[in-house]
Each structure stands twice: as C-alpha cells, then as structure tokens.
Amino acid sequence: MPKAAISTNFTAAVDRRRNLWKTEAAAGHDVPRGFHPFAASPLTIDEGPALRPVTDRRMALARRAIQEIRGPALARRILPGLPLTLGITLVYVAVIVLLPLGALIFKAASLGPADYWTIVSSDRAVASYRVTMLCAAAATAFNLVFGMALAWVIVRYRFPGRRIVDALVDLPFALPTAVAGIALTTLFASNGWFGGALSALGLKVAYTPLGIIVAMAFTSLPFIVRTVQPVLEELDGALEEAAQTLGASDGEIFRKVLLPQLFPALLAGLSLSFARSLGEFGAIIFIAGNQPYETEITALLAFIRLEEYDYPASAAIASVMLMAAFLMLAITNILQTRALRYTVKG
C-alpha cells in the first residue's frame, strides 16, 4: 500500500477516536484522565459500568485502526517470492547435499556390521586415518599462526603492494587443486627452487608427510585469514588504548583484550581449515608419493577402492571421514556458542 494511503488511514483512525472523545465529553461523561486520541490501551483505566459500552466501541475502533495501519507494514516484512525461493533452496540442498550423503550412507549400510568393521579397521585404513588426521592438524596449526599474522598485517599496516597481497590470499580458491599440486611438487622437489635449498639443509618435502602438510596448508590458508580479517577491521581501537593507559603490555593486550573478541572467528576459521584439509585430494596426490602406510591419505584410499569397483568398501572408508567431520563441526559449534555467550556477558 502506498505511503499516502497509510497516512490517510492513520489520520482517519485518529479523527474517529477524537470525535468519539468529543462525543463522550459533550454527553457529560467524565473522560478518564490520561485518555486522548492516541491512547494505546484504554483497558488500563477503570471507567465503571456506565462507560463500558463506550469503552468496548472504542476498543473495537482501536483494533480496526491498528489493523489498517500495521497491515501493510507487516506485509512488507515478508520476503517477496518467499515460497519460490524457499522451494528452490530446499531442492538445492536435497540434490546437492542430502542426496550424495544419503547414497553414501545407503551404500555403506549394505555391508554387515562385521564386514564394515573389518574394512574400516584394517591396518591400511587405520594408517591412512593417522596420516590424514596428523597432517591436517599440523597444517591447521601452521595456518593458525601464519594466517593470523597475515590477517593482522593486512588490516593494521599500510605498505606498497598491500592490495596485491590481499588478493593473493584468495589464490587457492581460484586455482584448481591439481594445478596447485603440480606447482607445489615442482617447487619442493629435490631439483626445485625451494626443494633444492631445503635438501641442502637435510629437509625433504616432496613425497613425504611434510609435502602433505604443505599442500593442506596452501589450500586451507584463506579460511583462517578471511574469517579473522573482518573481525580485526571492526575491533575498537579505544580498548587497546585504554589497556595501554592502564599499563598492560603488548602480550597482555593481545591475550586479554583482542583474543577473547577474535576467539569465535578463530574457531570458525580453524574448523573450516581443518575440514578443508581432511577433504583435500587433488593437491596432495601429486606431492605425497602415495605410499601405503606412509603417505597415503584416506581420500586416496577411498578412490583406490572405487577404481577397484569395491563400492561398499569405498563408501565405508568415506563414512569414517564423514563422521569425523560431523563430530568436529559439533564440537566447534559448542565451543563457539560458549565463547560467544561469555564474550557477550563480558
């Protein structure tokens, strides 16, 4: 409804209430103290039995006026095309997310409990879990330190090439993972730019678990930077200045002033980075060497079973990683909820 019509309805409602007030006054009734054309709730005043019919009419008029005034405003709050957009969203979630997960669970459930346990607890599978989890944890720990420092530098300092550095953070998102794996292998091989210098120091990166960590860290670094960076930009500098005025050191300011505000964002970034590392495949298979029990990740083992047409075994191995991801997300959500609650209370 146009604004002019809403204004007209409101004016008409007020006029009707003003005329009712004048009629009561002309009839000799005592108008309750505090009653005026804009009164919101006449029921809060005890007017006695004589005025109750008038009060009832007045309340009906007030309800009608409120419906006339609020109706269009409430209608505008509803998202236009809500049924269509909601339907498209539910179809997308069902096709893209629920259908693959349901097929995975259905295929894994085709195995009996004994067969399922035999597959997921085999020595090779357990070794792949260990390699994947440890390398993902190491890559996430590296990204926590380096990503936090990178976000801090981008937000707090101005230097030539800052925009280029900020844009390069998103390079792993745009670069195909297979291309990233080939590039990392070329750089960290024994004859590569970085690999040659590291080999002289006795460090071998390519075809070792260290290469897996490098690939995971490269592909998951943007998650930490992009979750922490907006929070750093919104921090109130007055808090740090007040802490300095009170004699706090730089370490105390970071631990007691900045870190509590950054903690929820850090948790979100860590969970996303760890989940991305668990699911990484393309960048790792080129630099890992893919040796069973040493540099074979769980995603590769599931892919090998898939190439062997052992679909139930592949689904069983993948389901283990799926449960690990869900468990990690649940723990992260609980920690985030607690952190946000205490931050708001503080």
pLDDT tens sequence across 27-48: 665 555 444 444 444 444 344 4
Question: What CA–CA distance (Å, rounded) separates 88 from 93?
Answer: 9
pLDDT at residue 174, rounded to an integer: 87
pLDDT at residue 121, rounded to an integer: 92
Q: CA-CA distances (angstroms) from residue 29 to 19, 25, 32, 41, 45?
A: 14, 6, 9, 19, 15
23: number of Cβ within 10 Å = 11
Residues 6+ apart with CB under 8 A from 282: 176, 177, 178, 180, 181
Q: Decide: 287 and 234 in contact? Cβ < 8 Å.
A: no
pLDDT at residue 119, rounded to an integer: 92
Q: Decide: 264 and 188 in contact? Cβ < 8 Å.
A: no
Confidence band of 252 (pLDDT split at 50, 70, 90):
confident
pLDDT at residue 216, rounded to an integer: 94
pLDDT at residue 23, rounded to an integer: 66
Confidence band of 71 (pLDDT split at 50, 70, 90):
low
Query: Does residue 9 surpass a pLDDT of 70?
Result: no
Q: CA-CA distances (angstroms) from residue 330 to 317, 326, 336?
A: 21, 6, 10
Question: What CA–CA distance (Å, rounded) separates 196 from 249?
Answer: 42
Give the domain 112-345 fold: MetI-like fold (1.10.3720)
The model carries a pTM of 0.70
Q: Decide: 162 and 240 in contact? Cβ < 8 Å.
A: no
Domains of the chain, by residue range, sit at: 3-77, 82-109, 112-345
